Amino acid sequence: MDALRRKRCTVQLTPQEMRLLTLMMQRADHIISSADILNLLWRPHFNGDIGIVAICLLRLRKKLEHHPGASRHLRTVRTVGYVFHTIPVLDPI
């Protein structure tokens, strides 16, 4: 497990969650498709469902966001992919 700090709390992330967060932050403010995330972080060793990306992002949101259902940084762009916003978004995409 890797740890990072959110405000004054330490948050424990799995290695895969840390890799996903790192990827999202490296490509901040740019949309990344689920397929690209899957290929960059899971393949060639993973032959499962692409839904693993959504599950991992949901776990990250629960650990990092105050209101995971209304995420301000880790956002879903419906039918396109995901984006990490460096400036928090207040309205839904």
**Is it the case that residue 91 has pLDDT exceeding 70?**
no
- Pairing state of beta strands 9-13 and 74-77? unpaired
Instruction: Round the average pLDDT of the chain to a whole number and report it.
Output: 86
Question: 63 lies in which domain range?
Answer: 2-84
> Per the structure, how many domains does the chain have?
1
Q: How confident is the model at residue 45 (pLDDT cuts 50, 70, 90)?
A: confident
pTM, rounded to two decimals = 0.82
> Which of the two residues, 77 and 4, has the higher pLDDT score?
77
Residue 32's CATH number: 1.10.10.10
User: Looking at residues 30-55, what average pLDDT do you find?
Assistant: 90
Structure tokens at 93: 């995409």
Q: Is residue 90 part of a domain?
A: no
